[in-house]
Amino acid sequence: MYVLEPMTQDDVEEVSQVERLCFTNPWPISAYRRELKNPEQNFYLVLRDDPAASYDEPEESDISNGEFGSIGPRPVSRRTRRFTLWPIGRRHASATPPPIIGFAGMWNLYDEAHITTIGVIPELRGRGLGEVLFIALVDEAIRRRVNWVTLEVRVSNVEAQALYAKYGFNVQGRRTRYYSDNNEDAFIMWSQSLKDAEYLRHIEDRRRRLAHRMSFDQTPSSR
């Protein structure tokens, strides 16, 4: 079972190790430590693989406060405005936390959210985990009442571009030689307005599809 949690200073060393498996130009550890000191403008989370985790029924206040827990599909409450893929739920306490298998983060700049990083260890890619991290960031952007979400993506990373396009992101520009490891260009992609009701319904539909997929991926026979 997979569990989403806010990234803490205690996670930074392990996140840095995971990032080196994911990218050729990882951030320095000091960058994460600095980002985590300003939670009003920055938001970072980790994804853990925890077979012992269990679901807890979410309360309305849990969802509105943007807290995280075990990942699993839940029916939307009549009191809540939107479906949640990760209701509040706690991993089982242990001396050693379950391993981090993914991470993600974004900046909150005025009326927009800028996704800075999403990474999943190579051996677990293709299971929808990157999408789980991505939609968690989009949900947090909605919770923070920003208008748009933006990000950069390598021009060669067509798989990531397809994921973002699935959620209504469009290419709006290009940054030349943006990536320092190989001087590759980056596409600048933007979401549609997070204040648009039809677009929010589209995001909800994609979230439900992902929840359905993850419910099958996390059955005992598939783990």
Q: Which residues belong to the active site?
A: 152, 164
CB 198 within 8 A of CB 77: no
Distance of CA 170 to the CA centre of its chain: 19
Beta strand segments in 24-165, E: 42-49, 100-109, 112-120, 148-154
Q: What is the DSSP letter of 212?
A: H
d(CA 32, CA 9): 8
Give the span between the Cα atoms of 76 and 211, in whole angstroms.
12
The one-letter code for the residue type at 144 is: R
Task: Tell me the C-alpha distance between 155 and 161, whole Å.
Answer: 8
